[in-house]
């Protein structure tokens, strides 16, 4: 019995590693197709302590006007993986420290605000809504908020077992979007394990 359990654990770990390799290395995730053409756009990229995106964006879009914010707070964001990533991959030069309820830019500054695998690190729902309200505040009338996340759904359960509990369901995200006054323009499935939500202000 013990060997069977050990074997199942090893198989589960190998499956998770393979799926992670597929999601982050084999798929077109970092082609950023849902973002559109960001050249000559004023863009804010927001991370939660680990910025895996900004360097790629500046290489892909040579004429992007990119600002970077990091809302990592070691007292609230206690994931060991984030601490390790911060040590291995320092923040890009010019990164601005922010609070989830205070993005330090004036109203209607950006054409697009991007949060890739960062917003779920805000574990309190009310704080997530406050954060989304801030994102709505700093986008222009015609601007977009772009949230990319794993979801708490069957594909991610099969991929990550109980680790999928670290993510939020689609309904939970939709509830936060609604309460923050953002409406869903479209959802793009980058691959079976990742959703990108394209959001706009509803004017409220």
Phi and psi at 132, nearest 5°, equal -65, -35
Query: Which pTM does this prediction carry?
Result: 0.86
Taking residues 41-66, what's their average pLDDT?
94
| 137-to-12, 42, 92 alpha-carbon distances in Å | 42, 15, 25
Taking residues 89-113, what's their average pLDDT?
92
Taking residues 96-117, what's their average pLDDT?
96
Taking residues 92-119, what's their average pLDDT?
95
């Amino acid at each position: 019995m013990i060997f069977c359990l050990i074997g199942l654990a090893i198989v589960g770990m190998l499956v998770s590693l393979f799926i992670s390799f597929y999601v982050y290395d084999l798929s077109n995730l970092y082609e950023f197709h849902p973002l559109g053409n960001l050249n000559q756009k004023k863009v804010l990229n927001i991370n939660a302590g680990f910025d895996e995106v900004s360097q790629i964006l500046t290489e892909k879009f040579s004429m992007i006007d990119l600002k970077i914010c990091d809302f990592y707070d070691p007292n609230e964001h206690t994931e060991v993986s984030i601490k390790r990533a911060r040590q291995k991959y320092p923040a890009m030069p010019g990164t601005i420290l922010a609070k989830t309820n205070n993005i330090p830019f004036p109203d209607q500054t950006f054409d697009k605000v991007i949060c890739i695998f960062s917003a779920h690190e805000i574990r309190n729902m009310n704080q997530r809504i406050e954060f989304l309200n801030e994102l709505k505040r700093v986008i222009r009338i015609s601007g977009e908020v772009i949230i990319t996340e794993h979801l708490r759904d069957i594909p991610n359960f099969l991929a990550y077992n109980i680790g999928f509990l670290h993510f939020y369901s689609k309904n939970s995200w939709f509830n936060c979007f609604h309460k923050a006054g953002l409406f869903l323009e479209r959802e793009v499935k980058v691959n079976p394990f990742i959703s990108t939500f394209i959001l706009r202000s509803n004017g409220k």
